[in-house]
Amino acid sequence: MYDCIIVGAGPAGATAAYHLSKAGHAVLLLDAAQLPRYKPCGGGVSPQVAQWFDFDFSPAISVKVRRVRYTLNLADPVEAELPAESALWMVRRDLFDHFIVQQAQRQGTSLWDGTKAKGIENQGDHWQVHTPRGPVQGRFLIAADGARGSMAKWLGFTNRRYRLAAALEAEPRLTVPEEPVVHFDLGLLKQGYVWNFPKADGYSIGGGVFRSGSQRQQDLRRPVADYAAEFAVNAKAVQHFGHPIYIWDGPQPLHTHRAVLAGEAACVVDPFTAEGIRPSIFSGLKAAAAIDQALGGDQQALARYTDVINTEWGEEMRWARRIARLVYQAPGLAYKAGVKRPSSTLTMVKVFCGDVRYADVAHRAVKRLSGGVLG
């Protein structure tokens, strides 16, 4: 009998496992894949996450980036330099996720990778999870098995609130410049953007559509190929990975009987930037705290987890969603009135690093942009 079974060893599940094990609880972490496993992802991580752990992430960081370059339809470039303390982390998800899992194992987490959860049963005072290794019991469950996982459905979350977005990525292994640069382009994709995130040994080049329904009206392959060509990358010679994204779309229940949702299973992805790693880690941190309190006898702990995510994260995402609607509806205006302002990049980096809230900057941004968009 484990104190908690966590299904999904991504950032949310691994974070929850680390903190619960560190608190002295018996934790089983399940993942269908053999770790380390490939995960298509731009791999941009906020340095804020270091504040939520007591170990050094350096071995899991591919490069730290201080230069950002923007274009509008591949033209009118703008560059910005970031302070050293705000340098963006670029990671490869197979190494990054596994690194957190390994820290959890050092705290006592039991890992069953290559082990897919086949079903669950409510046993009243605990859950039983069916696996190819046989059934296993846990007093509490954390469902962190991602956007396409089955746990949310099995737990009865049949009407989660989210906006379905789509992304397509390629990861060519090439020599990168000595000073790595993060690249973004507005305009090539409707209702989204394309990007190039450097790693020590190559790039993650991709595009995402982050407004619901828009991905059905356009093919992501052509814009991504056009953008890749800007970096002398032949997109046809590189394998592509497409995946859905569950973007936050408002407050919702994230707990049920002795179980919570975390990570993308909880639809915590940022509706403006499509950032998923930091919010997933945040949800894993808060889920661990809630389960720890519940194991101590606090019967309201899981309900407070829902409240915490809906307020501390959800309120921020309400403003992010407003900004996303304005920017992606009129990228040309957004580029001129927002991106090209010298302070804009530093402001967004501060939001990304948790030093400034979306709500603190949204009023100015909405006022500046809505004059041209909303009339």
- The number of folded domains in the chain is 1
The pLDDT assigned to 282 comes to: 98
The pLDDT assigned to 373 comes to: 44
Residue 232 CB: number of other CB atoms within 10 A? 8
Domain that holds residue 296: 2-373
The pLDDT assigned to 370 comes to: 62
The pLDDT assigned to 141 comes to: 98
| Mean local confidence (pLDDT), 236-259 | 90
Comparing CA positions, the residue from 90, 98, 95, 96 lying closest to residue 9 is 98
pLDDT-derived band at 105 (thresholds 50, 70, 90) equals very high
The pLDDT assigned to 375 comes to: 36
| Mean local confidence (pLDDT), 275-299 | 97
Report how far residue 168's alpha carbon sits from residue 325's, in angstroms, rounded to the nearest whole number: 21
The pLDDT assigned to 359 comes to: 84
pLDDT-derived band at 313 (thresholds 50, 70, 90) equals very high
**Cβ(276)–Cβ(270) below 8 Å:** yes
Residue 116 CB: number of other CB atoms within 10 A? 15
The pLDDT assigned to 211 comes to: 65
The pLDDT assigned to 262 comes to: 98
Give the DSSP letter of residue 159: S
Could you tell me which residues come within 8 angstroms of residue 153 by beta carbon, excluding any fewer than 6 positions away? none
The pLDDT assigned to 374 comes to: 41
The pLDDT assigned to 88 comes to: 95
pLDDT-derived band at 214 (thresholds 50, 70, 90) equals very low
The burial of 150, by beta-carbon neighbours within 10 Å (0-12 exposed, 13-18 middle, 19 or more buried), is given as middle
Query: Which pLDDT tens digit goes with each residue over 326-363?
Result: 889 889 999 998 899 888 888 888 898 888 888 888 77
List Cα–Cα distances, 85 to 9, 49, 90, in angstroms: 29, 13, 14
**pTM for the complete prediction?**
0.93
Give the 3-state secondary structure of residue 116. Answer: coil
| Mean local confidence (pLDDT), 208-223 | 68
- Which range, of 40-49, 174-183, 223-232, 312-321, averages the lowest pLDDT? 174-183
% of the chain residues with pLDDT over 90: 65
CA torsion sign, 217 to 220 to 221 to 223?
A: positive
**Cβ(342)–Cβ(80) below 8 Å:** yes
Report how far residue 286's alpha carbon sits from residue 266's, in angstroms, rounded to the nearest whole number: 12
Query: Which pLDDT tens digit goes with each residue over 170-197?
Result: 777 777 778 899 999 999 988 899 999 9
Residue 215 has pLDDT above 50, yes or no: no
The pLDDT assigned to 33 comes to: 96
Strand-strand pairing, 181-186 and 192-199? antiparallel
The pLDDT assigned to 149 comes to: 93
The pLDDT assigned to 368 comes to: 67
| 220 against 283, higher pLDDT | 283
The pLDDT assigned to 344 comes to: 87
Name beta bridge partners: 112: 30
Write the CATH number for 238: 3.50.50.60
% of the chain residues with pLDDT over 70: 95
